[in-house]
């Protein structure tokens, strides 16, 4: 990276170079002390470009000079006197440039160290209290207070508890100023193994706590208007990010993106940043990579057998991480998925938002240690693996917004470790081998969403069986392009909440109710009416409904059929054209 092309990163870059120089070069004590002095000086002005109001060319010239000196050090042939003289000159130039650039209200260079130290001291107890206080996410919207942000990153980072550090540093994979989805990030952390279950808390609940703690200590800030107390997405604090980049190692890889590694962690990520990526370069050592993360690629293709060699993979994030569906991703072929059959260490697989994957091959069923399978918005997906029951380690399965899926395979009810199941489809009776009533054994299921297809047939006790899912604390029911709803053996005596006019799409034109204990069609909503045009009522021996009331509830009726209602049949009624 050129210092001049991105001034905000100038100081962090040179700081990183300084630290690497001090740790990788053998210098005598005097020279090392000079570099330490420079490091300390740059630490004190690292937020300069966030506050500077005038041209910074002079300081950039000095930083460029320093960077050039550091890169050209030859420890075996160093002119000690000239080196120390140059460093001292640079020190004075930085001091002079800083004083010229500081806006009104900032301390002079001589006062910076005292000012920063006092801010650190004053804010440390405050931050320690905040770190463990009850979260109040609405307070975090862009609250980039000086006392929390301007002090030395070593102080704030080192004060973090151990489990927070890898989570925070992993966020550097995302582009600068990126809006990061909280839920998706927690799932990724689980796959990376940096977030794990603890006692009675699930890994996802532990991840929620991590996000709250990072919010409280201002390492990340909530994204949004600040009114909603629930944080759904966040950003890395822009001032903190500049300091954190000195703690990682990033190497550019031609045609792909970069290699990303945290100094304190031996784990290496292959980060895909180029728009069009072909995975298959020979220089990528197969056993080196634990994680592959797609940050910016829209077109992915794989050389034959390349993925099969990646035996150490634990995380494969090929899908989109952004919330917006405008981030479209395509693969040349779904054949690469067949190469995952022997990936026994793979715990996390995301194909979110990828098109051209009509089905998952049987090889996916062999991923016995896979915990998270994210297939959200795979718009070409038509079927899930038939032997999905073999994936016994699954805790999270997301097939929401997969609109070509019209059924759930038998076997999902055997995935007893499931905590999250999103996008469960109810279709026609012939296309839905697995029903809600089959899921009673999923005692760990906490988050559950159901999609009712356009040909849905709601069977006897279908929704009544939800009470068997005792751990569920988040339930969502959505409708497709619902034109016809067929209820068979409905157990309730009145209209349920999900069937009331305000809840049912206006496109529903046909309603068939056959059998069950329904006594009344009165939904109790004054301002809403059904738009049903064709109504068939059969074998409802308890249902009482007057002709006038029927047309009031269904003002758009064109045809009515009543067979064995209150043990009698009525003539068909048709609206005369």
Look at residue 315 and give its three-state secondary structure.
strand
pLDDT band of residue 316 (cuts 50, 70, 90) is: very high
Q: What is the DSSP letter of 529?
A: -
Q: Is the pLDDT of residue 121 over 60?
A: no
**Residues in a beta bridge with 513:** 487, 537
pLDDT of residue 21: 79
Contacts of 470 (CB under 8 A, 6+ apart): 443
Beta bridge partners of 488: 514
CA distance 537 to 523: 16
SS3 of residue 137 by DSSP: helix
The residues that bridge with 215 in the sheet, in sequence order, are: none
Pairing mode, if any, of strands 457-458 and 420-426? unpaired
Q: Which of 401, 405, 395 is nearest to 426 (CA)?
A: 405
pLDDT at 140: 41
- According to the model, what pLDDT value does residue 424 have? 93
Give the pairing of strands 315-317 and 291-294. parallel
- Is the pLDDT higher at 518 or at 17? 518
Q: Residue 48: what pLDDT?
A: 58
Mean pLDDT of 506-534: 88
Q: Is the pLDDT of residue 243 over 90?
A: no
Residue 563 clears pLDDT 80, i.e. is over it: yes
| pLDDT of 254 | 62
Non-local (6+) Cβ contacts of 37 within 8 A are: 91
Mean pLDDT value of segment 115-142: 38
pLDDT number for residue 399: 95
How confident is the model at residue 30, as a pLDDT? 83
Which of 99-108, 238-247, 349-358, 426-435 has the weakest average pLDDT? 99-108
Q: What local confidence, expressed as pLDDT, does residue 288 receive?
A: 73
Of the two residues 247 and 541, the one the predictor is more confident about is: 541
What does the pLDDT look like over 86-112, one tens digit per residue?
A: 788 778 877 777 766 655 444 444 443
Length, in residues, of the chain? 577
Q: Report which of residues 265 and 126 the model is more confident about.
A: 265
- What is the per-residue pLDDT for 324? 81
pLDDT above 70 as % of the chain: 75
Lowest mean pLDDT: which of 102-116, 185-199, 307-321, 396-410? Answer: 102-116
Q: Which tokens hold the place of 355?
A: 């098109």
Task: Indicate the Cα dihedral angle 224, 228, 230, 233, nearest 10°.
Answer: -10
- Better-scored residue on pLDDT, 422 or 216: 422
- pLDDT tier for residue 250 given thresholds of 50, 70 and 90: low
Which strands, in side-by-side order, build the sheet including 276-279? 276-279, 299-302, 329-331, 354-355
Q: Is the pLDDT of residue 517 over 70?
A: yes
What's the whole-number mean pLDDT along residues 170-196? Answer: 93
Winning range, highest mean pLDDT, from 61-70, 488-497, 529-538: 529-538
Which tokens belong to 240?
């903190």
Radius of gyration of the chain (CA): 31
Q: How far is CA 531 from each of CA 49, 64, 543, 553, 576, rounded to the nearest angstrom?
A: 60, 70, 21, 9, 18
The mean pLDDT of 163-169, rounded to a whole number, is 89
Q: Which of 188-197, 298-307, 401-410, 472-481 is predicted least confidently? A: 472-481
Cβ-proximal residues to 343 (8 Å cutoff; 6+ apart), any chain: 310, 311, 313, 367
Report pLDDT for 265.
Answer: 54
DSSP string, 389-428: GG-TT--EEE-TT-TT-----TTGGG-TT-SEEEEEEE--
- pLDDT of 142 above 70: no
DSSP string, 208-250: HHHHHHHHHTTSEEE-S-S--SS--EEEE-HHHHHHHGGGEEE
pLDDT of the residue at 318: 96
């Amino acid at each position: 990276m050129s210092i001049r092309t991105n001034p905000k990163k100038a100081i962090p870059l040179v700081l990183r170079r300084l630290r690497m120089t001090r740790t990788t070069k053998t210098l005598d004590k005097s020279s090392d002390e000079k570099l330490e002095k420079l490091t300390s000086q740059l630490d004190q002005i690292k937020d300069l470009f966030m506050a500077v109001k005038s041209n910074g060319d002079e300081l950039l010239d000095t930083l460029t000079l320093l960077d050039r000196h550091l890169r050209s050090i030859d420890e075996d042939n160093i002119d000690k006197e000239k080196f120390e003289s140059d460093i001292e000159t640079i020190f004075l130039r930085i001091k002079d440039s800083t004083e010229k650039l500081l806006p009104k209200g900032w301390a002079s260079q001589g006062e910076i160290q005292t000012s920063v130290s006092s801010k650190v001291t004053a804010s440390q107890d405050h931050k320690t209290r905040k770190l463990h206080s009850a979260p109040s996410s609405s307070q975090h919207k862009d609250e980039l207070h000086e006392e929390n942000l301007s002090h030395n990153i070593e102080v704030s980072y080192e004060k973090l508890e151990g489990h927070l550090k890898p989570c925070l540093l992993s966020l550097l994979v995302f582009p600068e100023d990126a809006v990061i989805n909280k839920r998706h990030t927690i799932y990724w952390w689980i796959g990376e193994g940096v977030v794990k279950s603890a006692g009675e808390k699930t890994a996802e609940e532990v991840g929620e706590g991590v996000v709250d703690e990072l919010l409280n200590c201002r390492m990340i800030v909530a994204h949004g208007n600040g009114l909603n107390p629930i944080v759904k997405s966040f950003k890395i604090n822009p001032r903190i990010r500049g300091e954190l980049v000195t703690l990682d190692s990033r190497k550019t890889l031609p045609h792909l993106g970069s290699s990303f590694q945290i100094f304190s962690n031996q784990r290496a990520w292959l980060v895909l940043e180029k728009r069009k990526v072909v995975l298959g370069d020979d220089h990528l050592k197969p056993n080196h990579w634990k994680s592959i993360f797609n940050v910016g690629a829209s077109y992915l293709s794989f050389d034959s057998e390349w993925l099969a060699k990646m035996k150490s993979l634990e995380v494969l994030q090929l899908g989109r991480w952004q919330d917006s569906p405008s981030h479209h991703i395509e693969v040349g072929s779904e054949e690469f998925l067949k190469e995952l059959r022997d990936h026994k260490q793979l715990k996390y697989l995301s194909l979110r938002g990828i098109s051209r994957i009509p089905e998952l091959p049987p090889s996916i069923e062999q991923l016995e240690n896979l915990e998270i399978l994210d297939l959200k918005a795979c718009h070409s997906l038509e079927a899930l693996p038939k032997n999905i029951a073999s994936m016994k380690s699954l805790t999270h399965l997301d097939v929401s917004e997969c609109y070509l899926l019209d059924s759930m395979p038998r076997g999902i009810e055997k995935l007893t470790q499931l905590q999250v199941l999103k996008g469960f489809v109810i279709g026609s009776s012939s296309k839905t081998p697995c029903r809600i009533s089959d899921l009673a054994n999923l005692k760990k299921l906490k988050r559950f969403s159901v999609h009712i297809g356009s040909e849905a047939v709601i069977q006897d006790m279908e929704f009544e069986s939800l009470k068997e899912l005792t751990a569920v604390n988040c339930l969502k029911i959505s409708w497709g392009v619902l034109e016809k709803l067929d209820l068979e053996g409905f157990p309730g005596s009145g209209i349920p909440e999900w069937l009331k006019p305000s809840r049912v799409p206006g496109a529903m034109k046909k309603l068939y109710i056959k059998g069950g204990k329904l006594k009344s069609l009165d939904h109790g909503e004054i301002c809403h009416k059904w738009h049903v045009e064709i109504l068939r009522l059969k074998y409802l021996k308890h249902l009482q409904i007057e002709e006038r009331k029927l047309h009031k509830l269904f003002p758009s009726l064109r045809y009515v059929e009543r067979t064995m209602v209150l043990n009698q049949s009525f003539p068909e009624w048709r609206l005369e054209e």
